[in-house]
Chain A
Amino acid sequence: SAVISQKPSRDICQRGTSLTIQCQVDSQVTMMFWYRQQPGQSLTLIATANQGSEATYESGFVIDKFPISRPNLTFSTLTVSNMSPEDSSIYLCSVGAGFTASYEQYFGPGTRLTVT
């Protein structure tokens, strides 16, 4: 399984500002994903980050609000832009277990964001 780290682990931010979350994997992976978990809710996929191409966003999420970078096969960033209290959530990155039949996913520890 992959070992995934995220920075920061938590942050408290003022509305109107932006925060960039980093995700680092200990091995090269093709597929990386960003999820959001709002308080009391399930995880929702924000976007799929592929190295060398634009991220693919799910319905309800747009690049202007959640720009993503994927400069190489072990690293990705998610920026939460122009934050409002509704953006208070845990943001998690995950990776796929390679192109195997299992399509198993592994998750990072998450970034807990509070917007005041």
Chain B
Amino acid sequence: KQEVTQIPAALSVPEGENLVLNCSFTDSAIYNLQWFRQDPGKGLTSLLLIQSSQREQTSGRLNASLDKSSGRSTLYIAASQPGDSATYLCAVHSGAGSYQLTFGKGTKLSVIP
């Protein structure tokens, strides 16, 4: 059974810092990995999706990497802003033909002005 772990559970950084969020998964046989952002009491916003054959994806100040063999992904946020404050969720999709995602519990990020 796939399990997804995100470390740290919470992170507080001053504005302008670069930061890294970590995600690990137990079964390396994944189809893709998706990073989401969740604002308090709200739904999820898809940030980046990395296919199993890819090593990284970039969108603006965000860069996600994937090392499937070691069961790890990182989300790098450059020049953090207070608007980046949210919970970041990592989810893995384990097989073609199924949409089922396994989620981590998330990292709650606070960017201090």
Whether A43 contacts B41 by the Cβ 8 Å rule is: no
Known: A102-B51, A103-B31. A109 touches B99 (CB 8 A): no
Per-position 1/0 for B55-78, Cβ under 8 A of A: 000000000000000000000000
> Which among A40, A41, A103 has the highest number of chain B CB atoms within 10 Å?
A103
**Please, how many residues of chain B have a CB less than 8 angstroms from a CB on the other chain?**
24
Main secondary structure of the interface of A (DSSP, over half): strand
> Which among B31, B42, B49 has the highest number of chain A CB atoms within 10 Å?
B42
Whether B46 contacts A42 by the Cβ 8 Å rule is: no
**Please, how many residues of chain A have a CB less than 8 angstroms from a CB on the other chain?**
28
A103 CB contact (under 8 Å) in B4, B44, B89, B99: B99
**Chain A residues close to B by CB (< 8 Å):** 1, 4, 6, 10, 31, 33, 40-45, 48, 90, 92, 94, 96, 101-110, 112
